[in-house]
A and B are shown apart, each in its own frame.
Chain A
Amino acid sequence: MSLFRIFINQDDDDMATSKKVITREEWEKKLNAVKLRKEDMNTLVMNFLVTEGYVEAADKFQRESGTKPEIDLATITDRMAVKKAVQNGNVEDAIEKVNDLNPEILDTNPELFFHLQQQRLIELIRQGKTEEALEFAQEELAPRGEENQAFLQELEKTVALLVFEDASNCPVKDLLDISHRLKTASEVNAAILTSQSHEKDPKLPSLLKMLVWAQNQLDEKAVYPHINDLSTGQLQDPSE
Chain B
Amino acid sequence: MPTTSSSSSSAASSSGNRQADVFSRLASSDPEVKLKALRYVKNQIIGNRTKKLSFLKLGAVPAIASALSDSDCHNNSSILVQSAAALGSFACGFEAGVQAVLDAGVFPRLLRLLTSSDEKVVDAGARSLRMIFQSNQAPKYDFLQEKNMEFLFSLLNSENENVSGLGASIIAHACGTTVEQQVLCDAGVLEKLVVLLDGSLSQREACLESLATVLKSNPEAVSRFVGLEAGRYLSYVTELTKDRYPRTRLLSCLCLVVIYNTSPSYFLNMGTKSSLVTTLLELLNDPGQSGDEAALGLSSLIAEKEDLQKLAYEANAIKNIVDILKTGSELNPKRLQGLFFSLAELCSKLEDCRCSFLSLEVLDLLVNALRHKNADVRTAACICFRNAARSVKNLSAGRFTADHVMLPLVQLLHDPSSSVQVAVLGALSNIVLDFSSPKSTFIEYGGIKQLIELSKSMDPNARCSSLRALRNLMFLADNKRKELFYSEVKAQGFASLISDPEPSVQEQAVALLRNLVDGCLNSIEFVFDEDGLILDTVGRQLRKAPQAQMAIQGMYVLTNVASGTELHKEAVMQQLFPQPQAESNNFMLKFLQSHESQLRSATVWTIINLISPSSPGALDRHVKLRNEGIIPQLKNMVNDACLDVKIRIRTVLSQSMSFGDN
> In this assembly, does B39 line the interface, its C-beta being within 8 Å of a C-beta of chain A?
yes
Which stretch (B86-94, B106-114, B314-322, B483-491) binds chain A?
A: B86-94
Write the nearest CB–CB distance from B14 to chain A, whole angstroms.
9
Q: Output the nearest chain A residue to B11 by Cβ-Cβ distance.
A: A135
Tally A-B pairs: CB < 8 A: 77
- Interface size class on chain B is 20 to 34
- By a CB distance below 8 angstroms, the chain B residues around A148 are 287, 329
The secondary structure that dominates the A interface is helix
- A103 to B199 CA separation, bound complex (whole angstroms): 20
Which stretch (B2-10, B305-313, B542-550, B601-609) binds chain A?
A: B2-10
* A95 adjacent to B11 (CB under 8 Å): no
Residues 101-118 of A contacting B (Cβ, < 8 Å): 102-104, 106-110, 113
Write the nearest CB–CB distance from A130 to chain B, whole angstroms.
5
Interface string of B63-89 (1 = CB under 8 A from A): 000000000000000000000010011
* A135 adjacent to B46 (CB under 8 Å): no
* B3 adjacent to A134 (CB under 8 Å): yes
> In this assembly, does A195 line the interface, its C-beta being within 8 Å of a C-beta of chain B?
yes
- A104 to B93 CA separation, bound complex (whole angstroms): 11
Determine which of A106, A139, A196 lies in contact with B46 in the assembled complex, contact meaning CB atoms within 8 Å: A106
* A104 adjacent to B47 (CB under 8 Å): no
Interface string of A138-163 (1 = CB under 8 A from B): 11100100011110000000000011
Write the nearest CB–CB distance from A116 to chain B, whole angstroms.
8
Determine which of A107, A131, A138, A149 lies in contact with B329 in the assembled complex, contact meaning CB atoms within 8 Å: A149
> In this assembly, does A236 line the interface, its C-beta being within 8 Å of a C-beta of chain B?
no
Q: Output the nearest chain A residue to B2 by Cβ-Cβ distance.
A: A130
* A197 adjacent to B12 (CB under 8 Å): no
- A195 to B204 CA separation, bound complex (whole angstroms): 12
> In this assembly, does B159 line the interface, its C-beta being within 8 Å of a C-beta of chain A?
no
Q: Output the nearest chain B residue to A143 by Cβ-Cβ distance.
A: B50
* A103 adjacent to B201 (CB under 8 Å): no
- By a CB distance below 8 angstroms, the chain B residues around A104 are 88, 92, 127
- By a CB distance below 8 angstroms, the chain A residues around B330 are 149
- By a CB distance below 8 angstroms, the chain A residues around B88 are 103-104
Write the nearest CB–CB distance from B53 to chain A, whole angstroms.
10
Residues 309-341 of B contacting A (Cβ, < 8 Å): 328-330
- A162 to B2 CA separation, bound complex (whole angstroms): 9
- A194 to B202 CA separation, bound complex (whole angstroms): 10
Determine which of A103, A135, A194 lies in contact with B127 in the assembled complex, contact meaning CB atoms within 8 Å: A103
* A135 adjacent to B8 (CB under 8 Å): yes
> In this assembly, does A96 line the interface, its C-beta being within 8 Å of a C-beta of chain B?
yes
- A147 to B50 CA separation, bound complex (whole angstroms): 10
* A147 adjacent to B49 (CB under 8 Å): yes
* A197 adjacent to B201 (CB under 8 Å): yes
> In this assembly, does A99 line the interface, its C-beta being within 8 Å of a C-beta of chain B?
yes
* A134 adjacent to B8 (CB under 8 Å): yes
- By a CB distance below 8 angstroms, the chain B residues around A131 are 2-3, 7-8, 11
- A163 to B92 CA separation, bound complex (whole angstroms): 37
Write the nearest CB–CB distance from B329 to chain A, whole angstroms.
4
* B46 adjacent to A107 (CB under 8 Å): yes
* A195 adjacent to B1 (CB under 8 Å): no
Interface string of A67-103 (1 = CB under 8 A from B): 0000000000000000000000000000110010011
* B92 adjacent to A108 (CB under 8 Å): yes
Q: Output the nearest chain B residue to A147 by Cβ-Cβ distance.
A: B49
* A130 adjacent to B1 (CB under 8 Å): yes
- By a CB distance below 8 angstroms, the chain B residues around A95 are 43, 46
* A135 adjacent to B12 (CB under 8 Å): yes
- By a CB distance below 8 angstroms, the chain A residues around B39 are 96
- By a CB distance below 8 angstroms, the chain A residues around B245 are 194
> In this assembly, does B584 line the interface, its C-beta being within 8 Å of a C-beta of chain A?
no
Given that A108-B92, A131-B11, A194-B245 are contacting pairs, would A140 and B43 also be in contact in the complex, using a CB cutoff of 8 Å?
no
Q: Output the nearest chain B residue to A116 by Cβ-Cβ distance.
A: B47
- By a CB distance below 8 angstroms, the chain A residues around B85 are 99, 103
Write the nearest CB–CB distance from B495 to chain A, whole angstroms.
55
* A103 adjacent to B42 (CB under 8 Å): yes
> In this assembly, does B288 line the interface, its C-beta being within 8 Å of a C-beta of chain A?
yes
* B202 adjacent to A143 (CB under 8 Å): no
* A143 adjacent to B49 (CB under 8 Å): yes
- By a CB distance below 8 angstroms, the chain B residues around A134 are 1, 3, 8
> In this assembly, does B636 line the interface, its C-beta being within 8 Å of a C-beta of chain A?
no
> In this assembly, does B359 line the interface, its C-beta being within 8 Å of a C-beta of chain A?
no
- By a CB distance below 8 angstroms, the chain B residues around A149 are 328-330
* A99 adjacent to B43 (CB under 8 Å): yes
Give me 9 A-to-B residue pairs in the complex whose CB atoms sit less than 8 angstroms apart, sorted by A's number: A96-B43, A99-B42, A99-B43, A134-B8, A135-B8, A139-B15, A140-B48, A149-B330, A197-B202
The 6 A-B pairs with the shortest beta carbon distances in the complex, nearest first, are A113-B47, A149-B329, A197-B200, A106-B47, A197-B201, A143-B50
- Other A-B pairs beyond A131-B8, A139-B15, 4, CB < 8 Å: A103-B46, A106-B46, A134-B8, A149-B329
